[in-house]
Structure 1
């Protein structure tokens, strides 16, 4: 798609927006019909008033004037009703279309690779999904359809004016080139101002999202004043962008009023002369005064609506650029079943987050059904990367990964991930009840099953002590729970789906020793019969694994059981001695 930033007449963008209107085609047609009807009704009132003055008022025809008064009242009622339905339907059409588009955007975001979120600020995505989409809604309620209506209204008014008196019409239109020039200058100036407004809104949202989420770090390090200073600068730029756009309006609208006054002055001058020469009736002059107001009002609003449309185009370009991003894992798999034992095989796997550097190099290992594999190594060795590519969060560069003798790319992504339960160190809980955080809103999981799983995990007692029990709201990120309690909830959430493969990525590193002992025995029971992968810094948690892999700079340096690796007297032995010599108390428990 051709990118034409800021152009209100970008046909490609309008065509894409129209694809979302198709489900509401009847509504759209009614909006068009009402738009045409409003344009046709616009010049009727001045025309009828002129007719009433010339034929009834100046002729002292009271019954005729009474009849015309009733006609004008009915016309006003009709215009009011048509305007009501026009406004209601255009807004409804816009919001219905944006609802579908916003759902499409969110659905697209959920399928994007994690590497996309690694470099894209969350606040920017929020701006795209909320405020940028609202500007597209304005295309319908205040933009395209209204612009078409204003243009049709102008054509109708000019047509009637030319029909009544073409000479007088040409005199009134003498200042029009000045208005067209002013409108063009305003349009170009406000375009850049609107683009700057959208940019500053995105920056503001990004800053707020990041700093509110990281408020704990800000307060821990007493950075409040420094961050307030940063916020003031961003907020000032946001203010200045809006002021600049409003400044252009404050100049343009008075200019339009001056030009319309010129037309009115020319009308009075030429009209008075024509009346004295008996070439024009007084009713015509009165109607033309009304015509000038009707003509300049849509022209004045046309520039405003044009820029609303323009702003919608800027928002549409941003939204569609997000929808056009191809940074998602192509789900080419067709298998929705087949993982029965959980056998995992890595064959010559190479992986990198960027093209410059391999994070995993020539990784080969096999985990038999029911076995537990532990992966250890220094920070940055590539341990978590193994889990990321197993879940297909990232695509591998070379080699293959098989589960139950089939390449993981043969399974559909939802099915593959449903068979792999992963518990990570950084637990994320939603602002919702404990039950919904465990089931993730799955209606097929009854509370009885949740309670049973909580009892097995040793979490039932502390949950029951909370106000409301399983209906207790944990608040955002589980703020009202301790780290150990939140971790227990994540264990229940991972295991309630009865997966074939269990992955623990530093799952107990953030809990205290008492909580770790509580869940350790539960984990041993839950891991029994399941293929399990355990990533841990604390070697005390991996000693019972059937096989241990030692990763170093993305390569497998050693592989074997705990005792076998100790006998090698290599990297694992050095890690073991280093860790337990610094923690003599723990060493006595594992030797």
Structure 2
């Protein structure tokens, strides 16, 4: 139960609902116990009155006695109906307090988990798959809610009802109480062990469901690749295998559940048989009345569900504890990327990398080795290199998605770690290599970085990214809804939308991480010509494997296996007759051959 202590703050927050629910439960159970007494009184009343009526049957007194008997039965019946209605009303209030409380806590807990997800560093998402993240915020939270709602409600109900009923039974006959309750501990223990089996098999089902969700999500996200490589049959087979595992584990659980309810009914029936048999002997001996037997049978049936629920509640608590443990694992995750001074200021854009080395913590890959360069505010720098040379890592360090392993990154002569992170990132425009667009309108995707911008600013950003003409050709223009991950658009259109999203923020530092890789040479030149005016007055970092993208930069560095092997201007690097010139000539030949074709 220690894992569930995390929920105590929410129980305290909604303590008024919990206290009211407890009060309503006590009242509802009070009205649940009384009908048994009324039944006992009614049976004894009818038995005695009918015996008296038989003595005076046929006379005036007999008629009066029968009328009184009818009236008494009607009054007792009305009393039982009234008590049933009152009990139902207070049970309604119980659910409107305790169950509502559980839903409110579920809402708060999901928000807490999602907020934690948002705050965790990028390295966390490299270690965990999306299906598992989704299961913890959905399936695991639902299990915890069962503990907070039905678990607490039936647990309190057991604590309240059991003493009330046992007290009433002992007042009638202690010996009959003993025999009537004899099978119930066996019932509770049996349910506990059966529920343990159910719990373990449910865990296996949960694992299968997580694997199934992850597989389906990957299949949907990569549907283009699946179709392009004609792997639909393999994908279907993998889904069938995962479904088969899920089905097998579900059927094993169904088998246990099939034994569960007959066990309950058999032990309940045994308790009723003992009550009638022992009670019948006591009626013969004159120790109790017929009404007492009926009263005891009602009491036994009243206790059956709470005792049965004891094992069920234990299972709910175990499953909730297991789920909360999984949730706590992520809630306890710490984001080591924190601001040291919470510095909030407008940045000019001076950028310095001083002997920066970086090793990815999850893979151990050394991406950068003693990288040093500087960019003055308003200048531009191009970072050129082949795949895996460490170009994108530089962008990640500038955005503080990661922190350096060695060395420092400085902005305006301040260590980047001193800045308030949201404040710093809000002054940067970033076009990632791995493009991502939301399932929303094109306008909202462009305005994503700044929701307060005007329509004219959105249009201007689209024009600067050479996207405007494409958008107005769509039937709904800027209100065109994009599919998941922007699947409605072509690769080049997605890339240009991402560029428009970055420049619409009017950032002081603009980072283009291979932003033109999906566009052709003509479109690249058009966008670069537009960007040349946008780059004036702001620090621009152009990361690319294309030499053509580096032409506009004031300074160029060439990376290879995480080290700077060349740096200078476009002209000076061409004059060196080194790696840069080799890349330049190779790509120039490729462009010429593509134009000929």
TM-score (norm 2): 0.92
1:13 aligns with 2:21: no
Counterpart in the other structure of 1:525: 533
Q: Output the CA distance in 2 between the equivalents of 1:520 and 1:427.
A: 19
Does the CA contact (< 8 Å) of 2:449 and 2:505 recur in 1?
no
Deviation by residue 1:137-166 (Cα, 9 ceiling, x = unmatched): 222232122222134322322221112211
The 3-state SS of whatever aligns with 1:528 is coil
1:137 aligns with 2:127: no
Q: Output the CA distance in 1 between the equivalents of 2:409 and 2:553.
A: 21
Counterpart in the other structure of 2:255: 247
The 3-state SS of whatever aligns with 1:302 is helix
Deviation by residue 1:246-289 (Cα, 9 ceiling, x = unmatched): 32222122112111111111122212211111111000011111
Does the CA contact (< 8 Å) of 1:329 and 1:395 recur in 2?
yes
236 and 587 in structure 1: CA distance in 2 versus 1, 3 angstrom threshold: closer
Counterpart in the other structure of 1:39: 29
1:223 aligns with 2:231: yes
Does the CA contact (< 8 Å) of 2:466 and 2:526 recur in 1?
yes
Q: How does 1:133-282 map to 2 (within 5 A)?
A: 133-282=141-290
Q: Output the CA distance in 2 between the equivalents of 1:141 and 1:455.
A: 55
1:50 aligns with 2:58: no
Equivalent of 2:350, from 334, 343, 349?
343
1:112 aligns with 2:102: no
Q: What is the Cα deviation at residue 238 of structure 1? A: 1.7
Does the CA contact (< 8 Å) of 2:567 and 2:573 recur in 1?
yes
Counterpart in the other structure of 1:469: 477
| Structure of larger gyration radius | 2
Q: Output the CA distance in 2 between the equivalents of 1:457 and 1:502.
A: 14
Does the CA contact (< 8 Å) of 1:138 and 1:312 recur in 2?
yes
The 3-state SS of whatever aligns with 1:58 is helix
Deviation by residue 1:428-470 (Cα, 9 ceiling, x = unmatched): 1111111211122854223232223333434333322222222
Q: Output the CA distance in 2 between the equivalents of 1:171 and 1:487.
A: 78
Q: Output the CA distance in 2 between the equivalents of 1:21 and 1:574.
A: 67
Query: Which structure 2 segments of 5+ residues have no match?
Result: 51-67
Does the CA contact (< 8 Å) of 1:566 and 1:573 recur in 2?
yes
Does the CA contact (< 8 Å) of 1:39 and 1:150 recur in 2?
no
Task: Choose 428-437 or 180-189, whichever is displaced more.
Answer: 180-189
Does the CA contact (< 8 Å) of 1:381 and 1:553 recur in 2?
yes
Q: Output the CA distance in 2 between the equivalents of 1:585 and 1:241.
A: 59
The 3-state SS of whatever aligns with 2:325 is helix
Q: Output the CA distance in 2 between the equivalents of 1:202 and 1:565.
A: 53
Task: Choose 427-436 or 154-163, whichever is displaced more.
Answer: 154-163
The 3-state SS of whatever aligns with 1:374 is strand
Q: How does 1:368-387 map to 2 (within 5 A)?
A: 368-387=376-395
Does the CA contact (< 8 Å) of 1:144 and 1:309 recur in 2?
no
Q: Output the CA distance in 2 between the equivalents of 1:87 and 1:517.
A: 66
The size of the alignment, in residue pairs, is 577
Counterpart in the other structure of 2:313: 305
Q: Output the CA distance in 2 between the equivalents of 1:368 and 1:587.
A: 37
Does the CA contact (< 8 Å) of 2:427 and 2:509 recur in 1?
yes
Q: What is the Cα deviation at residue 313 of structure 1? A: 2.1
Q: Output the CA distance in 2 between the equivalents of 1:38 and 1:240.
A: 42
Does the CA contact (< 8 Å) of 1:38 and 1:153 recur in 2?
no
Equivalent of 2:12, from 22, 25, 30?
22
Counterpart in the other structure of 2:517: 509
Counterpart in the other structure of 1:7: none
Q: What is the Cα deviation at residue 177 of structure 1? A: 4.1
TM-score (norm 1): 0.93
Task: Choose 219-228 or 509-518, whichever is displaced more.
Answer: 509-518
The 3-state SS of whatever aligns with 1:286 is helix
Q: How does 1:400-415 map to 2 (within 5 A)?
A: 400-415=408-423
The 3-state SS of whatever aligns with 1:21 is helix
The 3-state SS of whatever aligns with 1:284 is helix
Deviation by residue 1:108-136 (Cα, 9 ceiling, x = unmatched): 11111112111211111111112211121
